[in-house]
Structure 1
Amino acid sequence: MSVSPPPTPTLPDKPKSKTGWIVGIAVAVVAVIVAVVLLLVNLSAPASSDAGKRATVTIGTTEKASPYWAVLTKAAAKEGIDIRVVNFGDYTQANPALNSGQIDLNLFQHLQFLADYDVSTGQNLVPIGSTLVVPLPLYSDKYTSVAEIPQGATIAIPNDATNQARALLVLQKAGLLTLKDGGNTLATPADIVADRSRVSVIPVDAAQTAPALTSADGAIINNNFALTAGIDPKSAIFQDDPKSATAEPYINAFVARAADKDNKTYLKIVQLYHTKAVQDAVLAESKNTAVIVERPQADLQKIVDGLAATIKASK
C-alpha cells in the first residue's frame, strides 16, 4: 500500500512594506525641487547668454592698455560674452586682420579712415556703432603756445592719408599754414601754400609722432599714442573742436565685416560701451577731452558712403 506524501504547507502572504511607496514619494519630491531650481536659474540667466552658451568675440585695437577695456570686458562677461582684445602696433594692421577673419571686430578708427580703407582696397567693412570723437591736438616740447612757434618751424604729422589731412586742417585752423582752396578731408602736404604758411610739415608714421617731439618744433599726435607716451592731453597747445559739424568724419566706431552688421552679440557689445561705467572710464582716460557720440548705425553708414563717394571722385 502506498502512502501519500504530506501536503505542502501553505505560507501566509508576506506583509506589504511601506518602504517602497515612501521612497517613491521622496524621489518625486526631489525631482520637483530640482526642476524648480533649474527653472529659477534659467530665468535669472542673462538673455544674451542663450541659456548658458557663451560667445567669444575678438576685438582688434591700437590701445589695448586703455583702462576702459577692463570695464567693458567685465560688463560683457556678465552678459555671456567673453571679449578677447588684440593689440596692433599701428593703424595699418587692424582692418586687414578683420577682413581676413583673424578678428571679429575692431575699434581704433574714425569714419574717414574706414572710408579711405574701403575705397583703396575694394573691401566692404562697415561701422556698427559709434563711440566718440577725440580732438586731434598739437603738442610742443619747445613752445607753450601757438603764438610762440616761429617762422620756418617744423611740425610732425601722421602720414596715413586721413589723419594727415585732418592734421593739416588743424594746423590751418591754428593759423600756422594755409591750404589751397581751404583744404578738405583729402588734403596732402602738396596742398600747402608755402609763401602763406609759417611752418612746414614732416609726415611720419602715426606711432612715431610722439617720439618726433624731441626733434621737431611740434607734433600732431593722436590721443592713443599721446597717452601711451605719457603725454597729458591737457598740455596740447591747440586742437580741433570735437563737437563741431566738421568733426563728423572723425567719429570713431566699432567696425565689422558687412555680413556681420546685424550680429546681435556684436551689437550688444556696442550697447555695453555706452553704459555709464564704460563711458566714465573712457572720459577719465581722455582727461574729459573726448566727446561721446551715439548715432544710429544707418547714420554712420551714410556718412561713410558720402566720404567714399568724395574719395572716389578725387581719384
Structure 2
Amino acid sequence: MYLRRIISPVAAVVAAVVAAGSLSACSSASSTNETAGEDRPIVIGTTDAELPEWQVLEDLAKKEGIEIEMRNFTDYATPNQSLAEGDTDTNKFQHLKFLSEYNVGNGTNLVPVASTQIYPMPLFWKDHDSLEGIEGQQVAIPNDPTNQARSLNLLASQGLLKLKEDDLLTPTPADIDEGASKVSVAPVDAAQTPSAYGEGKPAVITNSFFERANIDPSQAILYDDPDSPGANPEVMFEPYINVWAVQEKDKDNPKVKRLAELYLSDEVKAAVQKTTGGTTIFVDKPQAELQQILDRLEEEASK
C-alpha cells in the first residue's frame, strides 16, 4: 500500500510565492524538472485527480517503473499555464477545441501527444426521460465559449434551436434565430448548471459537474452523437477529442506516450466507464492527425 501524491492548488500557490523573488521563477521550475533525472516522477496536471481511474493508471505505470505525481486544479485555465511554465510534464483534462483557443489566446504552443476520449454533451431535465414537453422551456447552458457553442449545436441538431447559419463551429446566442426556435437558452457558469437542473430547468451539464453533483449520467434525455446520420465530424466530433498535452519540445516523450497507451488499457477504460455511467467514447487517433486538427482549429480561432 502506498500513498498517492496529489498536490493541491493551494500548495502550488505557496510554492509559487516562495519562488517569486525574481523573474526566473518559471525557468527555475523547468530547470528543476530537467535536472531531476530520468527517474523522477511524471507530473500530470488535471481537474479530476480524485477519480478512481487515475489510481488504476498509476498502478499500471508503477509496474513498468513509471512513477506518477498528480497535480490537481480547480479551474480550466491553470493546468495549461502550469504546463507552459514547466511545472507539470503533461496534462489530461481538455479537448482539442479548448487547447486551440488557449494557445491562440495566450501565445503558447502546447501540442497533443495522444487522444483519450470524447465525453458526449448531455442534456438533463429533472423528472423527465424524454424531450417531450420541452418546447417553450428555457435551457441552462454553460457560458464558456467552447461548451456554450457545443450546447447550441446539440440543441440545434434536434431542431430545438434554429441557427442563422448551418455547421457553425462556435455559435453564440447571437446566432440563434429566436423566432424559429422551440426553446430559449440561459447561459450560466458551468458550475451553476446543476443548480438550474435542481430547480427543474432543462440543463446541459458537462462531465466535470454532473458527477460532482451526484447526477446519474444515465438520466440524460439527450446526448450529442457524432455517429448520427448527417452529423458533421468537423463540428461534432473532432474538436472535442480529449488529449494528453505537452510542450512542443516534449512531443516525443516516451514516458508520456506510454502513459497514454496505458490510459487506453481495458483496466482504465473500465474505471472510466464506471465513473461516467458507460457514456465515454474512447478515441485512438495518430498524433500527426491530432496535430492537423489542432492546427485547423487554431487557424479558425485566429480569425
**Which of 265, 286, 299 lines up with 2:255 in the alignment?**
265
1:195 aligns with 2:185: no
SS at match of 1:148: coil
Counterparts of 1:167 and 1:131, CA distance in 2? 21
Q: Unaligned regions of 5+ residues in structure 2, if any?
A: 1-36
Number of aligned residue pairs: 261
Measured after TM superposition, the shift of residue 238 of structure 1 is 0.7
Please tell me the residue identity of whatever aligns with 2:255: T
User: In the alignment, what sits opposite 2:76?
Assistant: 91
- Pairing partner for 1:126 from 111, 116, 140: 111
| Aligned residues: CA RMSD | 1.8
The aligned counterpart of 2:159 is 175
Q: Return the TM-score normalized by structure 2.
A: 0.81
| Structure 1 unmatched ranges of 5 or more | 1-51
- Conservation of the 8 A alpha-carbon contact between 1:130 and 1:295: yes
Distance 1:222 1:122, change over 3 A: same
**Equivalent in 156, 176, 186 of residue 170 of structure 2:** 186
The alpha-carbon deviation at position 173 of structure 1 amounts to 1.3
**C-alpha offsets along residues 89-139 of structure 1, whole Å, 9 cap, x if unaligned?**
222222112112222211111111111111122211111110011110000
The answer to whether the aligner puts 1:66 opposite 2:56 as a matched pair is no
User: 1:292 matched to which residue of 2?
Assistant: 282
Separation in structure 2 between the aligned mates of residue 92 and residue 211 of structure 1, nearest angstrom: 23
CA distance in 2, matches of 1:288, 1:90: 25
Q: Deviations over 1:139-195 (max 9, x none)?
A: 0115432121131x2211112211111111001112221111124221111111111
Q: Deviations over 1:11-69 (max 9, x none)?
A: xxxxxxxxxxxxxxxxxxxxxxxxxxxxxxxxxxxxxxxxx963301211122222111
Does 2:192 align with 1:208?
A: yes
Q: CA deviation at 1:243?
A: 4.1
2:99 matches 1:114: yes
Closer, same or farther: CA 185–136 of 1 in aligned 2, 3 Å:
same
CA distance in 2, matches of 1:216, 1:91: 27
Distance 2:199 2:177 in 1: 24
Tell me, in whole angstroms, the C-alpha distance in 1 between the residues paired with 2:299 and 2:135. 39
Question: Scaled by the length of structure 1, what TM-score is found?
Answer: 0.78
Cα separation, partners in 2 of 1:150 and 1:243, compared to 1, 3 Å: closer
